[in-house]
Amino acid sequence: MEESNRNPCPFRIAEDCGAAFAMGILGSGIFQAVRGFRNAPSGLGRRLAGSCVELRSRAPLTGGSFAVWGATFSAIDCTLIYLRRKEDPWNSVISGAATGGILAARAGLASMASSALVGGVILALVEGMGIGVTRFSSAVYRPVSPVEREQIFREQQTQKGFSKVNPSPM
């Protein structure tokens, strides 16, 4: 499953890091703005000011955390593509597990193992859903010959209880 619209590997790391940073900033920005608005003293001006303060102080931290995760994941993914000489879903699953383990290494071996397990499982679920959607959509868009289309039409008509197919009035 090669993605033709992706940049080659060295440039992919910077692209994924930037995309993860943007995702972290936007998601955290919305969350922190609402949180600051709700926790501020009463009055619209104070609530808006509290929203802005919370947004400016917390959103960049979350965006930076997302960027580190994206860069680490992408670097491991590119390394696996280079070592295995193929790009498949296993690279993403292994990269997710390794990223979870590496980023939790400071917390100890137990935390590292559990984070690696969670990262691998989450990426396995994401890749599995992608494969399932691809298989389902490829069956929907499979080309059908006119003869096969006529057979399918006749089978549907007999299942509905029509014995004859009425000709068109033209």
- Contacts of residue 73, defined as CB under 8 A and 6 or more positions apart, other chains included, come to 16, 95, 96, 99
Structure tokens at 88: 């498949």
Structure tokens at 29: 């920005």
pLDDT of the residue at 1? 46
Q: Which of 62, 66, 59 is nearest to 32 (CA)?
A: 59
- Taking only the tens of pLDDT, the chain with its 170 residues reads 445 577 788 889 999 999 999 999 999 999 999 999 999 999 999 999 999 999 999 999 999 999 999 999 999 999 999 999 988 899 999 999 999 999 999 999 999 999 999 999 999 999 999 988 888 887 777 777 888 888 888 888 888 765 555 555 55
> Can you state the angle between helices 9-39 and 44-84, rounded to 10 degrees?
160
Structure tokens at 16: 């994924």
Report CA 51 to chain centroid distance, whole Å: 29
Give the count of beta carbons closer than 10 Å to the beta carbon of residue 55. 21
Three-class secondary structure of residue 114 per DSSP: helix
Three-class secondary structure of residue 118 per DSSP: helix
pLDDT of the residue at 168? 56
Whether 20 and 71 have beta carbons less than 8 Å apart is answered as: yes
pLDDT of the residue at 10? 83
Half-sphere exposure (Cβ direction) of 141: Cα atoms closer than 13 Å: 6
| Domain limits, the chain | 1-85, 88-160
Three-class secondary structure of residue 86 per DSSP: coil
Whether 57 and 71 have beta carbons less than 8 Å apart is answered as: no
